[in-house]
C-alpha cells in the first residue's frame, strides 16, 4: 500500500497508536513506535492548562524524535485558547496537532469540549479555523460517530471540519453515550471516507491483524488507529504490518520475549518519570503484559503491590518459574 501523505509527512498505511490519556505516555508511545506503529498520538492536553502555564499539562506535550511522526492532542472549547495552545505546542515540534472532539468524560464535556463539540458543529469549525490560522502544523481532528443515538452526525461533522481546514479526520465508530458496547460501527467510518477528500483514520475494536485488514477493506480508510489492542502488546503494530504487507500472521511471542519487552517498557517509564511514580503506573501495564499467562490472576495481584523496579524483576523470575 502506498504511504499516506499529510502535509510534508509520510505515514505508512499499517497501524497507528490512538491517543490514550493516562496510558499512552512517552514510554508507551516509544514502545509502540519501536514495534511498528506508523503514527503515535499523545495524551490529550488542556488548551487552557497550557495557556496558563500548567507544568503537568505541558509535560504531556513532550515528544522525542524516536516517536516521530507524532501528533500532540489538545482539547478545549474556546477558539482563542485553542489557537494560543497550538502556538505553544509548536515548540514541542510535533508533526501534527490533533483536536479532541471525542472525549466522553463528563469533566471535559461539561466545559463544551471533547465530544460536546459534536453538538456544536459551528463552534467546532471555529476552533479548527483558529488553529489552522495559528500554525503551519497540519491540524487533524478526532471525532466519534455522534454524541448519542439521536445525534449521529459524523458524516456532516467531517464535511464541515474538512471545509474548516482539517488535514485528516479520525473517526471512532461509537457515540459518546456508548462506552465499549455494542461493537464499533464501521459503516459510519466508510460513509465518512466516502464523503470527504482528506485522509480518514478508522478507529475502534482493532485487536489483531485480521480486524485491522477488515477495517481497511470495508471502510477504505487511510489509516487504522489502535488503542486498547496495544495494552501489554506493543508488538500488535508489527503483527498488523506483517499481515498487511506479507499476508503472514506472526507467531505469538515467546514468554521470554514478552517479559523482556515488559521490562524494557517499565524501565523506560522509570527513566522518564522516576521510580516512585513509574512503579505505580507500571502496575496496570504489568498486569496487561501478564494477561493470559499461567497463574495470571496470582501475578495480577502481585502487580498491584509493585513499588520498585527490583520488584518487577523478581516478579519476572516468579512468572518464569510457573510458566
Ligand X SMILES: Cc1cc2nc3c(=O)[nH]c(=O)nc-3n(C[C@H](O)[C@H](O)[C@H](O)COP(=O)(O)O)c2cc1C
Active-site amino acid positions: 103
* Per-residue binding letters, 3-22, with ligand X (x by CB under 6 A): ---------------xxxx-
Residue nearest to ligand X (CB): 227
* Long-range pairs, 148-151, Cβ under 8 A, ≥24: 148/175, 148/176, 148/177, 149/175, 149/177, 151/118, 151/119, 151/175
Scan residues 231-290 and list those touching ligand X (CB under 6 A): none
Residue 76 interacting with ligand X (CB under 6 A): no
Residues facing 40 on adjacent strands: 17, 70
Per-residue DSSP letters for 69-121? SEEEEEE-S-HHHHHHHHHHHHTT--SEEEEEE----HHHHTTT-GGGGGG-H
Residue 204 interacting with ligand X (CB under 6 A): yes
Count of residues touching ligand X (by CB under 6 A):
21
Task: Name the phi and psi angles at 209, rounded to 5.
Answer: -60, -35
Residues in the chain: 323
Which range in 223-231, 258-266, 281-289, 301-309 contacts ligand X by CB under 6 A? 223-231
Residue 228 interacting with ligand X (CB under 6 A): yes
* Per-residue binding letters, 117-156, with ligand X (x by CB under 6 A): -------------------------x--------------
Could you tell me which residues come within 8 angstroms of residue 58 by beta carbon, excluding any fewer than 6 positions away? 45, 50, 88
Q: Pick the binder of ligand X from 39, 71, 131, 206 (CB under 6 A).
A: 206
Task: Report the alpha-carbon distance of residue 276 to residue 309 in Å, rounded.
Answer: 9
Tally: H helices and E strands in the chain: 14, 11
Which range in 64-72, 121-129, 200-208, 297-305 contacts ligand X by CB under 6 A? 200-208
Residue 205 interacting with ligand X (CB under 6 A): yes
Residue 26 interacting with ligand X (CB under 6 A): no
Q: Pick the binder of ligand X from 14, 38, 57, 73 (CB under 6 A).
A: 73
Task: Report the alpha-carbon distance of residue 94 to residue 138 in Å, rounded.
Answer: 10
Residues near ligand X (CB under 6 A): 18-21, 23, 43-44, 73, 100, 102-103, 142, 172, 203-206, 226-229
Amino acid at each position: 500500500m502506498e504511504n499516506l501523505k499529510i502535509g510534508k509527512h509520510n505515514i505508512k498505511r499499517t497501524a497507528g497508536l490512538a491517543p490514550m490519556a493516562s496510558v499512552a505516555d512517552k514510554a508507551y508511545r516509544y514502545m509502540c513506535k519501536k514495534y511498528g506503529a506508523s503514527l503515535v498520538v499523545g495524551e490529550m492536553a488542556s488548551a487552557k492548562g497550557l495557556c496558563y502555564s500548567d507544568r503537568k499539562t505541558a509535560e504531556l506535550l513532550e515528544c522525542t524524535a524516536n516517536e516521530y511522526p507524532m501528533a500532540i492532542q489538545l482539547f478545549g472549547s474556546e477558539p482563542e485558547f485553542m489557537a494560543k495552545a497550538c502556538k505553544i505546542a509548536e515548540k514541542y515540534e510535533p508533526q501534527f496537532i490533533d483536536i479532541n472532539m471525542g472525549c466522553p468524560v463528563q469533566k471535559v464535556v461539561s466545559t463544551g469540549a471533547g465530544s460536546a463539540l459534536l453538538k456544536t458543529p459551528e463552534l467546532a469549525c471555529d476552533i479548527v479555523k483558529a488553529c489552522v490560522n495559528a500554525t503551519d502544523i497540519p491540524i487533524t481532528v478526532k471525532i466519534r460517530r455522534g454524541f448519542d443515538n439521536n445525534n449521529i452526525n459524523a458524516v456532516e461533522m467531517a464535511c464541515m471540519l474538512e471545509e474548516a481546514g482539517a488535514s485528516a479526520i479520525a473517526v471512532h465508530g461509537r457515540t459518546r453515550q456508548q462506552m465499549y458496547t455494542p461493537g464499533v460501527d464501521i459503516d459510519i467510518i466508510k460513509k465518512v471516507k466516502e464523503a470527504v477528500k482528506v485522509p480518514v483514520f478508522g478507529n475502534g475494536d482493532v485487536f489483531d491483524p485480521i480486524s485491522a485488514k477488515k477495517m481497511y477493506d470495508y471502510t477504505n480508510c487511510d489509516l487504522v488507529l489502535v488503542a486498547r489492542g496495544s495494552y501489554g502488546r506493543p508488538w500488535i503494530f508489527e503483527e498488523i504490518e506483517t499481515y498487511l504487507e506479507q499476508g503472514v500472521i506472526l507467531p505469538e511471542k515467546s514468554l521470554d520475549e514478552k517479559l523482556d519487552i515488559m521490562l524494557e517498557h517499565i524501565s523506560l517509564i522509570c527513566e522518564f518519570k522516576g521510580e516512585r511514580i513509574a512503579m505505580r503506573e507500571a502496575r496496570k501495564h504489568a498486569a496487561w503484559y501478564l494477561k493470559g499467562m499461567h497463574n495470571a490472576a496470582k501475578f495480577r495481584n502481585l502487580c498491584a503491590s509493585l513499588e520498585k523496579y527490583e520488584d518487577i524483576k523478581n516478579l519476572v523470575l516468579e512468572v518464569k518459574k510457573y510458566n
